[in-house]
């Protein structure tokens, strides 16, 4: 029995395996609204055989978008644009669909990656950004506006409103984005947060606002549906947020009923030095799991079925999330199941693709022919 293809339960959500399709920004929305690209992109991934599909980082307000092309869920129009995409997925796939809710903070108002990714000034059509402190992501950039009491409440209410919209759309789960240098990570990291009020200074204070956001989202989303959190385990910079901080944060999230902690790293500073290698972030997920007992998701340059199997089988993490590997091979779970002697769910339109040597890949099926 493959550990990677062992079923899992997250509240009322029953998953056939431990493979997640990571949230991957597509920068292809219009005014925050999903387009035909999202129908094509998410549609193919919904047929991947993975246990859960994450919709990309979805902004809770227009000013929280990384780029003008970011997906959003902040009004009736952005909600309506997602409805046909989800309806198409539901018609042909039983995959669980989760949404990552996000706010980019000081990394907002940027150009798309293939356009250079640099900050767009207000004069060039960008917008003023917000952050815990008026510290720019890069020294040459315009400093963001430090969030005041009214701004903190506005952003929290935006997360709540988006969570309620996600519930109305029938989304199966939510992931709160506290990683990659975006707003909630900015509150956690002393590199970005130099406030002197109750939201700055000590680690306890820096965790306060992200925990308030989690509590608010958890309360706004149906109790029988799971809510997880994405974290950056380390800033990869001396004096920044680190693994011990992440363990403390995960411990607080566990007290609040978090259903998983998705363990990534980096993103809060361009000065980071990341030693990239296969599975380089897995030890962080393992450390969080061993210290807190919370469900963890391992991510980062995991490409081989045997590697993913070992991560789950050895208890280093409960789930494995795939991003680039899934874009390159949208049927990655099929091929992993074939290699590990497991089965996946596939639409009947594709049953004839089953190789002769993998006759039980899709389970016991019968195909007639006139």
Write out the catalytic residue numbers: 182
Cβ-based neighbours of 338, under 8 Å, separated by 6 or more: 355, 358, 361
Q: Contact at 8 Å (CB) between 329 and 29?
A: no
**Which pair of structure tokens corresponds to residue 35?**
């387009």
Q: Provide the 3-class DSSP secondary structure of residue 201.
A: coil
C-alpha 180/C-alpha 285 separation (Å) is: 15
d(CA 241, CA 34): 34
User: What is the rounded distance in angstroms from the CA atom of residue 19 to the CA atom of residue 121?
Assistant: 40
**34, β-bridge pairs:** none
Locate all alpha helices (DSSP H) within 145-242, ordered by sequence: 149-169, 183-188, 203-220
C-alpha 324/C-alpha 330 separation (Å) is 10
Q: What stretch of H or E contains 307?
A: helix 305-313
Within 10 angstroms of residue 169's Cβ, the number of other Cβ atoms is 18
Residue at token pair 């509590």: 215
Contact (CB, 8 A) for 310 and 269 = no
Cβ atoms < 10 Å from Cβ of 341: 12
């Amino acid at each position: 029995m493959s550990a990677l293809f062992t079923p899992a339960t997250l509240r009322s959500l029953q998953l056939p395996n431990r493979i997640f399709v990571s949230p991957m920004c597509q920068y292809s929305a219009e005014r925050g609204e999903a387009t035909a690209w999202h129908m094509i992109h998410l549609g193919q991934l919904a047929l991947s055989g993975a246990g859960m599909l994450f919709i990309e980082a979805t902004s809770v307000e227009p000013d929280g978008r990384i780029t003008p092309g970011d997906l959003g869920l902040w009004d009736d129009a952005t909600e309506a644009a997602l409805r046909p995409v989800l309806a198409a997925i539901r018609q042909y796939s039983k995959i669980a669909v989760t949404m990552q809710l996000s706010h980019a903070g000081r990394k907002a108002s940027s150009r798309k990656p293939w356009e250079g990714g640099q900050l767009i000034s207000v004069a060039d059509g960008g917008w003023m950004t917000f952050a815990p402190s008026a510290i720019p992501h890069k020294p040459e950039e315009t400093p963001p506006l430090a969030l005041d009491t009214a701004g903190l409440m506005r952003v929290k209410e935006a997360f709540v409103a988006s969570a309620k919209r996600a519930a109305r759309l029938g989304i199966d789960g939510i992931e709160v984005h506290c990683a990659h240098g975006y707003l909630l990570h900015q509150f956690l990291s002393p590199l970005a947060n130099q406030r002197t009020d109750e939201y700055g200074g000590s680690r306890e204070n820096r965790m306060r606002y992200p925990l308030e956001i989690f509590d608010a989202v958890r309360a706004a989303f149906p109790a029988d549906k799971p809510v997880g959190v994405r974290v950056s385990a380390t800033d990869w910079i001396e004096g920044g947020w680190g693994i011990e901080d992440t363990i403390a944060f995960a411990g607080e999230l566990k007290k609040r009923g978090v259903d998983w902690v998705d363990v990534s790293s980096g993103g809060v500073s361009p000065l980071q030095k990341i030693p990239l290698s296969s599975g380089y972030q897995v030890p962080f997920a393992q450390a969080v799991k061993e210290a807190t007992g919370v469900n963890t998701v391992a991510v980062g340059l995991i490409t081989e079925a045997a590697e993913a199997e070992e991560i789950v089988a050895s208890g280093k993490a409960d789930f494995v999330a795939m991003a680039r590997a899934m874009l390159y091979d949208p049927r990655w779970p099929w091929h992993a199941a074939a290699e590990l002697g497991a089965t996946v769910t596939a639409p009947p339109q594709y049953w004839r693709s089953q190789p002769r040597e993998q006759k039980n890949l899709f389970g016991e099926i019968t195909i007639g022919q006139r």
